[in-house]
C-alpha cells in the first residue's frame, strides 16, 4: 500500500499488558511466540519481495533492502525487525510495551552488525514527532488496537510519499475461529489461551477499506496457511485465515 495521513489513539492497555507479561519468551522458539518464529520466514519473504518490486531492487541480492528505512510497529521482541535488518535495511522497531522493547534491545546487542534500533513508543507518538520511513510494517498488530481506522491512518502518516505500508492480520471468518481459537489455543495449545479475540480480526475487504480511507492504495495481497502436521507455514492465495 502507498501512504500518508493523520493519526489518533490506538492503544488497548490490556493488550499491551498481555504481551508484556510474556516478554521474556519472545526469543524462545518453543515458548508463547512459537507461531511467530514459524511464520516469520514467510512474512519476511513477502515483505522483501514487495519492497524490492516497489523500490526497484533485486530480491536475490545478498542485502536486497540495503539503505531502506523501515519502521516495524508493534515489533514486540524484534523477531521481524531483526530479520529485515539482516536483509540490509535500517530498521526501527517500536512497541508500547517497555518490557518487550527491553528484550528486543538485549537480543539485538548480540549482533552489532545489525542496523536496528528500538523505541518504547506508539505509532501516534512517532507521527507527532514527524518521523517518516521508506516503509512501515505492522504484522499481527492491528487486531490488538482500539481504533483500527486511526491506527491505519497513523501507519500511512509514517511512510514517506511514495513509500509502502505492509499490514498482516487474521481474517474474521468461521475457518479462522476454528483454526486460530479452537485449534491453536484450545486443542493443540499452539499459543496461550486468550491470545486472540476473534471479534477483533479483520477481513481482507475490511482491511482494504481501512487502507483506502487512510489514503493507501492496495498493491498486493496474499494469505498464509499452516500445516499442523509439519508445523510449517507457506504463502497462499487463500486469505480466509491470515
CATH architecture under which domain 13-170+204-229 falls:
3-Layer(aba) Sandwich (3.40)
Residue 100 and residue 18: Cα distance in Å, rounded?
11
215 is in an annotated binding site: no
Query: 68 phi and psi, to 5 degrees?
Result: -80, 140
Res 182: pLDDT: 54
67 is in an annotated binding site: no
- Angstrom CA distances, 55 to 65, 68, 152, 168, 216, stand at 9, 9, 22, 20, 17
pTM (two decimals): 0.83
Q: Count how many Cα atoms sit within 13 Å of the Cα of residue 123 in the half-sphere of its side chain.
A: 35
Q: Read off the pLDDT of residues 51-94 as tens digits, 9 standing for 90 and up.
A: 999 999 999 999 999 999 999 999 999 999 999 999 999 999 99
The DSSP H or E segment spanning 159 is: strand 159-168
53 is in an annotated binding site: no
Residue 108 and residue 19: Cα distance in Å, rounded?
19
Residue 20 and residue 23: Cα distance in Å, rounded?
5
- Which ranges of the chain have pLDDT less than 70? 1-16, 18-20, 172-200, 238-242
Res 96: pLDDT: 92
206 is in an annotated binding site: no
58 is in an annotated binding site: no
143 is in an annotated binding site: yes
Res 200: pLDDT: 67
15 is in an annotated binding site: no
Amino acid at each position: 500500500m502507498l501512504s500518508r495521513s493523520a493519526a489518533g489513539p490506538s492503544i488497548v492497555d490490556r493488550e499491551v499488558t498481555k504481551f508484556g507479561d510474556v516478554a521474556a519468551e519472545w526469543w524462545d522458539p518453543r515458548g508463547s511466540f512459537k507461531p511467530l518464529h514459524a511464520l516469520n520466514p514467510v512474512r519476511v519473504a513477502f515483505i522483501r519481495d514487495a519492497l524490492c518490486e516497489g523500490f526497484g531492487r533485486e530480491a536475490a541480492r545478498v542485502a536486497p533492502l540495503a539503505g531502506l528505512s523501515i519502521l516495524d510497529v508493534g515489533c514486540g521482541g524484534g523477531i521481524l525487525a531483526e530479520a529485515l535488518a539482516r536483509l540490509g535495511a535500517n530498521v526501527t522497531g517500536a512497541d508500547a510495551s517497555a518490557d518487550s522493547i527491553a528484550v528486543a534491545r538485549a537480543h539485538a546487542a548480540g549482533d552489532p552488525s545489525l542496523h536496528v534500533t528500538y523505541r518504547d513508543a506508539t505509532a501516534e507518538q512517532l507521527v507527532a514527532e514527524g518521523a517518516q520511513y521508506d516503509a512501515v510494517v505492522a504484522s499481527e498488530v492491528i487486531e490488538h488496537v482500539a481504533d483500527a481506522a486511526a491506527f491505519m491512518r497513523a501507519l500511512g502518516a509514517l511512510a514517506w510519499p511514495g513509500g509502502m505500508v505492509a499490514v498482516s492480520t487474521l481474517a474474521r471468518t468461521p475457518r479462522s475461529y476454528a483454526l486460530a481459537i479452537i485449534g491453536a489455543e484450545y486443542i493443540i495449545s499452539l499459543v496461550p489461551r486468550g491470545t486472540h479475540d476473534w471479534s477483533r480480526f479483520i477481513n481482507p475487504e475490511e482491511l482494504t477499506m481501512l487502507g483506502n480511507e487512510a489514503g493507501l492504495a492496495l498493491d498486493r495481497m496474499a494469505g498464509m496457511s499452516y500445516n499442523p502436521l509439519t508445523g510449517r507455514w507457506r504463502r497462499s492465495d487463500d486469505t480466509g485465515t491470515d
